[in-house]
Amino acid sequence: MKCFSILLSLGILAIPRLFAKEPAKVVILKLDDFSSRTEVPTENWQRVVDYIHEHNLTASFGMIGRDIKRATPAFCEWIRGQQESGRIEFWNHGLTHQRVEKDGKKVAEFQEPFAAQVDTLEQTQRLGEEKLGIVFTAFGAPFNAINADTAKALEAVGIKVWLYGYGSAAREGGYTGVLLKRSVNLEKTTSVPDFNFFKKQYLEKNPQSPLVLQGHPHGWSEERFAEFVKIVAFLSEEGYVFMKPSEYAAGK
Protein backbone atom coordinates (compact mmCIF):
# COMPACT_ATOMS: atom_id res chain seq x y z
CA MET A 1 0.00 0.00 0.00
CA LYS A 2 2.86 2.28 0.94
CA CYS A 3 4.59 1.41 -2.32
CA PHE A 4 1.37 2.21 -4.22
CA SER A 5 1.11 5.65 -2.64
CA ILE A 6 4.78 6.39 -3.37
CA LEU A 7 4.25 5.46 -7.03
CA LEU A 8 1.13 7.60 -7.08
CA SER A 9 2.91 10.59 -5.59
CA LEU A 10 5.71 10.23 -8.14
CA GLY A 11 3.14 10.26 -10.88
CA ILE A 12 4.32 6.86 -12.14
CA LEU A 13 0.82 5.40 -12.14
CA ALA A 14 -0.27 8.20 -14.43
CA ILE A 15 2.10 7.06 -17.20
CA PRO A 16 -0.34 4.67 -18.95
CA ARG A 17 -2.74 7.60 -19.28
CA LEU A 18 -0.07 9.62 -21.05
CA PHE A 19 0.32 6.85 -23.62
CA ALA A 20 -3.43 6.82 -24.19
CA LYS A 21 -3.27 10.45 -25.32
CA GLU A 22 -3.85 11.42 -28.93
CA PRO A 23 -0.70 11.27 -31.10
CA ALA A 24 0.94 14.65 -31.70
CA LYS A 25 0.70 14.39 -35.49
CA VAL A 26 -2.51 13.03 -36.94
CA VAL A 27 -3.58 12.75 -40.56
CA ILE A 28 -7.13 11.96 -41.60
CA LEU A 29 -7.79 10.91 -45.19
CA LYS A 30 -11.12 12.29 -46.42
CA LEU A 31 -11.69 10.46 -49.67
CA ASP A 32 -14.87 11.54 -51.42
CA ASP A 33 -17.48 9.93 -53.66
CA PHE A 34 -16.81 6.25 -53.05
CA SER A 35 -18.15 4.49 -56.10
CA SER A 36 -18.72 1.04 -57.45
CA ARG A 37 -18.68 -0.87 -60.70
CA THR A 38 -21.86 -2.82 -59.98
CA GLU A 39 -20.76 -5.29 -57.28
CA VAL A 40 -17.18 -4.25 -56.63
CA PRO A 41 -15.34 -0.94 -56.29
CA THR A 42 -13.91 0.64 -59.42
CA GLU A 43 -10.32 -0.28 -60.22
CA ASN A 44 -9.00 3.09 -59.03
CA TRP A 45 -10.79 2.77 -55.68
CA GLN A 46 -9.73 -0.84 -55.24
CA ARG A 47 -6.07 0.20 -55.66
CA VAL A 48 -6.49 2.63 -52.76
CA VAL A 49 -8.32 0.08 -50.59
CA ASP A 50 -5.57 -2.51 -51.17
CA TYR A 51 -2.86 0.02 -50.33
CA ILE A 52 -4.57 1.00 -47.06
CA HIS A 53 -4.73 -2.61 -45.93
CA GLU A 54 -1.22 -3.52 -47.10
CA HIS A 55 0.32 -0.57 -45.25
CA ASN A 56 -1.84 -0.76 -42.12
CA LEU A 57 -3.26 2.72 -42.70
CA THR A 58 -6.72 4.04 -41.99
CA ALA A 59 -8.89 6.28 -44.17
CA SER A 60 -12.43 7.55 -44.50
CA PHE A 61 -14.66 7.32 -47.58
CA GLY A 62 -17.61 9.62 -48.38
CA MET A 63 -20.72 7.66 -49.33
CA ILE A 64 -23.53 9.26 -51.32
CA GLY A 65 -27.07 8.12 -50.43
CA ARG A 66 -27.96 7.68 -54.10
CA ASP A 67 -25.16 5.11 -54.45
CA ILE A 68 -26.29 3.22 -51.34
CA LYS A 69 -29.79 3.03 -52.85
CA ARG A 70 -28.53 1.28 -55.98
CA ALA A 71 -25.92 -0.90 -54.24
CA THR A 72 -26.45 -4.65 -54.64
CA PRO A 73 -26.60 -6.89 -51.52
CA ALA A 74 -23.11 -8.20 -52.36
CA PHE A 75 -21.67 -4.70 -52.56
CA CYS A 76 -23.40 -3.67 -49.30
CA GLU A 77 -21.78 -6.71 -47.72
CA TRP A 78 -18.37 -5.65 -49.09
CA ILE A 79 -18.79 -2.14 -47.63
CA ARG A 80 -19.83 -3.53 -44.24
CA GLY A 81 -16.76 -5.79 -44.26
CA GLN A 82 -14.48 -2.82 -44.91
CA GLN A 83 -16.03 -0.82 -42.06
CA GLU A 84 -15.70 -3.84 -39.75
CA SER A 85 -12.03 -4.24 -40.70
CA GLY A 86 -11.47 -1.07 -38.67
CA ARG A 87 -9.32 0.45 -41.43
CA ILE A 88 -12.00 2.35 -43.33
CA GLU A 89 -14.79 4.55 -41.99
CA PHE A 90 -17.67 5.47 -44.29
CA TRP A 91 -19.38 8.84 -43.81
CA ASN A 92 -22.46 10.70 -44.98
CA HIS A 93 -21.72 12.65 -48.18
CA GLY A 94 -25.30 13.76 -48.89
CA LEU A 95 -28.06 12.10 -50.83
CA THR A 96 -27.91 13.39 -54.40
CA HIS A 97 -24.57 15.18 -54.73
CA GLN A 98 -26.19 17.45 -57.28
CA ARG A 99 -26.70 21.10 -57.97
CA VAL A 100 -30.11 22.23 -59.19
CA GLU A 101 -30.92 25.43 -61.06
CA LYS A 102 -33.03 27.85 -58.99
CA ASP A 103 -33.73 31.43 -60.06
CA GLY A 104 -30.77 31.30 -62.41
CA LYS A 105 -28.41 30.03 -59.68
CA LYS A 106 -26.95 26.59 -59.11
CA VAL A 107 -27.98 25.42 -55.64
CA ALA A 108 -26.27 22.45 -53.98
CA GLU A 109 -27.98 20.04 -51.59
CA PHE A 110 -26.72 21.79 -48.47
CA GLN A 111 -27.60 25.25 -49.73
CA GLU A 112 -31.32 24.42 -49.51
CA PRO A 113 -33.50 25.50 -46.52
CA PHE A 114 -33.10 23.82 -43.11
CA ALA A 115 -35.92 21.24 -43.44
CA ALA A 116 -34.62 20.01 -46.81
CA GLN A 117 -31.11 19.61 -45.37
CA VAL A 118 -32.41 17.63 -42.39
CA ASP A 119 -34.36 15.43 -44.78
CA THR A 120 -31.39 14.72 -47.05
CA LEU A 121 -29.13 13.98 -44.06
CA GLU A 122 -31.68 11.65 -42.49
CA GLN A 123 -32.37 9.78 -45.71
CA THR A 124 -28.67 8.98 -46.13
CA GLN A 125 -28.33 8.05 -42.45
CA ARG A 126 -31.29 5.69 -42.83
CA LEU A 127 -29.91 4.11 -46.02
CA GLY A 128 -26.60 3.55 -44.22
CA GLU A 129 -28.31 1.88 -41.28
CA GLU A 130 -30.81 -0.19 -43.25
CA LYS A 131 -28.70 -1.33 -46.21
CA LEU A 132 -25.17 -1.26 -44.83
CA GLY A 133 -25.72 -1.72 -41.10
CA ILE A 134 -23.55 1.37 -40.54
CA VAL A 135 -24.40 4.44 -38.48
CA PHE A 136 -22.46 7.29 -40.09
CA THR A 137 -20.71 9.40 -37.45
CA ALA A 138 -19.24 11.99 -39.80
CA PHE A 139 -20.45 14.19 -42.62
CA GLY A 140 -18.86 16.17 -45.44
CA ALA A 141 -20.90 18.37 -47.80
CA PRO A 142 -20.81 17.69 -51.55
CA PHE A 143 -18.59 20.41 -53.11
CA ASN A 144 -18.15 21.62 -49.48
CA ALA A 145 -21.06 23.88 -50.43
CA ILE A 146 -23.20 24.90 -47.45
CA ASN A 147 -25.31 27.76 -46.09
CA ALA A 148 -26.19 29.18 -42.65
CA ASP A 149 -28.66 26.31 -41.99
CA THR A 150 -26.14 23.47 -42.44
CA ALA A 151 -24.71 23.64 -38.92
CA LYS A 152 -28.24 23.66 -37.46
CA ALA A 153 -29.26 20.68 -39.60
CA LEU A 154 -26.17 18.69 -38.54
CA GLU A 155 -26.91 19.49 -34.91
CA ALA A 156 -30.58 18.50 -35.30
CA VAL A 157 -29.69 15.14 -36.87
CA GLY A 158 -26.93 14.51 -34.33
CA ILE A 159 -23.95 14.24 -36.69
CA LYS A 160 -20.92 14.27 -34.42
CA VAL A 161 -18.10 15.08 -36.86
CA TRP A 162 -18.11 17.67 -39.64
CA LEU A 163 -15.40 17.19 -42.25
CA TYR A 164 -14.25 20.51 -43.66
CA GLY A 165 -16.68 22.28 -41.36
CA TYR A 166 -16.40 26.04 -41.21
CA GLY A 167 -15.69 27.50 -37.76
CA SER A 168 -17.83 30.62 -38.16
CA ALA A 169 -20.82 28.70 -39.61
CA ALA A 170 -20.55 26.09 -36.86
CA ARG A 171 -20.46 28.69 -34.09
CA GLU A 172 -23.33 30.73 -35.51
CA GLY A 173 -25.43 27.59 -36.04
CA GLY A 174 -24.74 26.29 -32.52
CA TYR A 175 -22.99 23.14 -33.76
CA THR A 176 -21.52 21.18 -30.84
CA GLY A 177 -19.74 18.39 -32.73
CA VAL A 178 -16.09 18.15 -33.77
CA LEU A 179 -14.90 20.22 -36.73
CA LEU A 180 -12.16 18.77 -38.90
CA LYS A 181 -10.87 21.74 -40.83
CA ARG A 182 -9.09 22.10 -44.14
CA SER A 183 -5.51 23.33 -44.12
CA VAL A 184 -3.35 21.97 -46.93
CA ASN A 185 -4.40 20.14 -50.07
CA LEU A 186 -3.45 16.70 -51.31
CA GLU A 187 -4.84 17.35 -54.80
CA LYS A 188 -3.72 20.24 -57.00
CA THR A 189 -7.08 20.16 -58.78
CA THR A 190 -9.93 17.70 -58.19
CA SER A 191 -8.66 14.12 -58.68
CA VAL A 192 -5.01 15.16 -59.20
CA PRO A 193 -2.78 14.37 -56.20
CA ASP A 194 0.58 16.13 -56.52
CA PHE A 195 3.47 15.47 -54.17
CA ASN A 196 5.51 18.63 -54.95
CA PHE A 197 2.41 20.81 -54.68
CA PHE A 198 1.51 19.20 -51.36
CA LYS A 199 5.01 19.44 -49.90
CA LYS A 200 5.37 23.11 -50.82
CA GLN A 201 2.16 24.06 -48.98
CA TYR A 202 3.08 21.84 -46.06
CA LEU A 203 6.48 23.50 -45.62
CA GLU A 204 5.12 27.01 -46.12
CA LYS A 205 2.04 26.73 -43.92
CA ASN A 206 3.42 24.45 -41.20
CA PRO A 207 -0.17 23.23 -40.59
CA GLN A 208 -1.46 22.13 -37.22
CA SER A 209 -2.54 18.56 -36.50
CA PRO A 210 -4.84 17.02 -37.59
CA LEU A 211 -4.16 17.27 -41.29
CA VAL A 212 -7.42 16.46 -43.03
CA LEU A 213 -6.62 15.61 -46.63
CA GLN A 214 -9.30 15.46 -49.29
CA GLY A 215 -9.00 13.25 -52.36
CA HIS A 216 -11.14 11.85 -55.15
CA PRO A 217 -9.74 8.37 -55.92
CA HIS A 218 -12.30 7.69 -58.64
CA GLY A 219 -10.07 9.77 -60.92
CA TRP A 220 -6.71 8.45 -59.67
CA SER A 221 -4.97 6.66 -62.53
CA GLU A 222 -1.88 4.62 -61.62
CA GLU A 223 0.27 7.68 -62.26
CA ARG A 224 -1.83 9.89 -59.97
CA PHE A 225 -2.00 7.17 -57.35
CA ALA A 226 1.84 7.13 -57.32
CA GLU A 227 1.74 10.80 -56.21
CA PHE A 228 -0.62 9.88 -53.36
CA VAL A 229 1.79 7.13 -52.29
CA LYS A 230 4.66 9.65 -52.20
CA ILE A 231 2.58 11.94 -49.96
CA VAL A 232 1.72 9.08 -47.59
CA ALA A 233 5.41 8.07 -47.40
CA PHE A 234 6.42 11.67 -46.67
CA LEU A 235 3.85 12.01 -43.88
CA SER A 236 4.89 8.68 -42.36
CA GLU A 237 8.52 9.88 -42.31
CA GLU A 238 7.34 13.09 -40.64
CA GLY A 239 5.86 10.95 -37.87
CA TYR A 240 2.18 11.27 -38.71
CA VAL A 241 -0.32 8.69 -37.49
CA PHE A 242 -3.34 7.92 -39.69
CA MET A 243 -6.70 8.07 -37.94
CA LYS A 244 -10.37 7.82 -38.88
CA PRO A 245 -12.65 10.82 -38.19
CA SER A 246 -14.71 9.12 -35.46
CA GLU A 247 -11.57 7.70 -33.82
CA TYR A 248 -10.01 11.18 -33.70
CA ALA A 249 -13.24 12.76 -32.43
CA ALA A 250 -13.54 10.16 -29.65
CA GLY A 251 -10.31 11.51 -28.16
CA LYS A 252 -11.63 15.10 -28.14
Binding residues (CB under 5 A) for Zn ion: these are 32-33, 142
Nearest residue to Zn ion, using CB? 32
Closer to Zn ion by CB, 64 or 157: give it: 64
Closer to Zn ion by CB, 32 or 67: give it: 32
Q: In the bound complex, what is the minimum distance in angstroms from residue 140's beta carbon to Zn ion?
A: 8
Q: In the bound complex, what is the minimum distance in angstroms from residue 178's beta carbon to Zn ion?
A: 20
Q: In the bound complex, what is the minimum distance in angstroms from residue 199's beta carbon to Zn ion?
A: 25
Q: In the bound complex, what is the minimum distance in angstroms from residue 149's beta carbon to Zn ion?
A: 20
Q: In the bound complex, what is the minimum distance in angstroms from residue 189's beta carbon to Zn ion?
A: 14
Closer to Zn ion by CB, 123 or 202: give it: 123
Q: In the bound complex, what is the minimum distance in angstroms from residue 141's beta carbon to Zn ion?
A: 8
Closer to Zn ion by CB, 95 or 153: give it: 95
Count of alpha carbons within 13 angstroms of residue 31, beta-carbon side: 27
Closer to Zn ion by CB, 10 or 100: give it: 100
Residues facing 27 on adjacent strands: 211, 242
Closer to Zn ion by CB, 33 or 89: give it: 33
